[in-house]
Structures are given as structure tokens and as C-alpha cells.
Amino acid sequence: MVALTVNPPRTRRPSARNDGNFGLGKRSHLLDAGGYVTLIFAVLVMSVPLIWMVFASFKQPNELYSMPLQWLPESFDGANYAHVAQTLPIGRLFLNSVMLTVVGAGLKVILGLTCAYALVFIEFPYKKIMFTIVLFTLLVPQQITIIPNYTLVSQLGWLNTYQGILVPGLASAFGTFLFRQHFLSLPGSVLEAASLDGAGHWRRLWAFVVPMSYPTISAVLLVSLVAEWNDYLWPFLVIDNAEMMTLPLGLTLLQNVDGMNNWGVLMAATVLVTLPMLVVFLVLQRRLVAGLTAGAVTG
């Protein structure tokens, strides 16, 4: 008889390549976990002051100074908000803020669109030098231009006027730069076809370029709205009439009336100033990232 020998099955050892992949996967998971932890920490750092501000707006003075720290108010009473409405002409301040914000942000977007269109689609001498000057203005802090702007506005007789608040800040180098980078990524064939059909620059801008640029327009509009709404230093210098003040200036007016001790009322007024822009940001947040990254890889 012939004896049959059956070899036992060999156990396959993991190769070095598989060990390497396992190590890479483990490191990747650790990096992901570290990223989530960092993100959560950053969100807490940014959101805790806002949460405290909202809770403090419903608190009475004895609750604000209580030890140990008391996060939630004993009752969500709107007495602080009622005090703000009685002390300040809140309706007038709100209308001033809305009007100046909408007009200022709208003009910034229009000027940025037209300037960027000229820098990309119109040939004229020293175009690159002009764009370099626009970029250079991004490096100049706003505080440096306050004194010459104030002198000019004063000589024009624009103190305590809406144009004195709006005109010095209408030029938006950031919007011009962002629009230019986005326009460089647009398909040139569309504009060439429009030009062959007899469309001029004005029609090409509003009928073709603008519809293809909605995400970027939304991003520039949102940044401009926030900047105009929160602007404090320049209106504080050129306005001293309570009927023409904006909501941020109203906080200073409230401090002058109630002093610095009534923090619950000040927190309630701060919530009223912050809430409108928070709503606008939540509405436009999806377009913000798309607009800021449009044309990012275009030189």
C-alpha cells in the first residue's frame, strides 16, 4: 500500500505591506480623532462667550455677581430687553443700521464687480500695476487712513451725515481681488460668443458674468454686510447725533445712560446687535465657502 501524506495547512503570515497599511490606517484614525478634538475645543472657545451673553441678558444683577458661577438665570424674564427699548430709540437705531448696511454693502459689491471686470476683460495700459495697487491697499490698516478721511469729510461738511459714514469706506479691495480671481476661472468662450453677438461690456457683465458668479457674490456680500453692520470706530468719529447713530453706537449711548454696572441690560442690547447678522450668516453660510474658494487655483 502507498501511504498518503497530508501536509497540514500553512498559516499565512501577514506581509510587511499589510502591516504597513494597518499602521497607516491606525495613524489616520488618530489624526482624525485629533482633528475632531481640536474642532470641538475651538467651537467651545468661540461659542461659550455667546452662550453666556444670551443667558446673562435674562439675569438680574445679583445673579450676575453670584458665586459660585450661575449659568442659567432663575427665570427667563425680558425686563432687560424692555429696559433697552425704553432707554434707547431702538427702532431708529435699527433702521439706521439696516439702511447703512444694505446701501454700503450693495455699493461695495457693485464697485467690486465693475473694477474686477475691468481688470480681467478690458485691456488698458498699466493694468497689472493697477491690480498691484489694489493688493497693496489690503496691507494698509484702516486706522492709518482715519485721520485723513476725517479731515476730508470735515472739510466737505459731511459730519453727522449718512454720506460721511458711507463714502470713505465704499472701495473694497478684498471684493475686487476675490471677484478678479473668480473671473479668471470663467469660460472665455461664453464671453467671446456674447461679444460676437454684439453684446457690450455692460451687457456681458450683468447678463453673463454675474449669473455665473453667484457664489462669489454671496461671499463678498456676506463679508461686506458683517463689516458694515459691526462698524463702530468710523461712525463713532463722524456721528454725535443720537438720531443718526447705528446699533453698535447705541451700546455706547446705553453705557452713558446706565453706566457700566448694569451688565444684564448691556448684554440684552448686545444680543439685539448680534442677532440680525447671525441670521444672515446662517442663511448664506453654504455659499460663503464656495465663493471664497472660487478661482483659488487660478493665477
Give the residue-averaged pLDDT of 173-202.
88
Residues in the chain, overall count: 299
CA distance 272 to 113: 32
Cα–Cα dist 215/289, whole Å: 8
Confidence of residue 12 (pLDDT cuts 50, 70, 90): low
| Contact call for residues 270 and 53 (beta carbons, < 8 A) | yes
| Residue written as grid cell 453727522 | 160
**80-293 — its CATH code?**
1.10.3720.10
Question: What pLDDT, in 10s, does the model give residues 117-137?
Answer: 999 998 889 998 999 998 888
Q: Check whether 10 has a pLDDT greater than 60.
A: no
Among the residue ranges 119-128, 228-237, 286-295, the one predicted with the least confidence is 286-295
Cα four-point dihedral sign 136, 139, 142, 143: negative
pLDDT for residue 2 is more than 60: no
- What is the chain's Cα-based Rg? 29
Q: Determine the pLDDT at residue 5.
A: 52
What number of CA atoms fall less than 13 Å from residue 284's CA on the CB side?
22
**Burial class of residue 104 in the structure, from the number of CB atoms within 10 Å of its CB (0-12 exposed, 13-18 middle, 19+ buried):** buried
Of the candidate ranges 73-77, 78-82, 146-150, the one whose mean pLDDT is the lowest: 73-77
Q: Which pTM value belongs to this model?
A: 0.79
User: Do residues 169 and 105 touch, judged by C-beta distance below 8 A?
Assistant: no
**Cα–Cα distance measured from residue 185 to residue 187, given in angstroms and rounded to the nearest whole number:** 7
Distance CA 87, CA 254 (A): 7
pLDDT of residue 298: 47
CA proximity to 58, closest of 76, 84, 82, 83: 76
- Whole-number Å distance between alpha carbons of 252 and 159: 19
Which has the closest alpha carbon to 89: 274, 272, 243?
243
Q: Are 103 and 224 in contact (CB under 8 A)?
A: no
Greater pLDDT, 285 or 23: 285
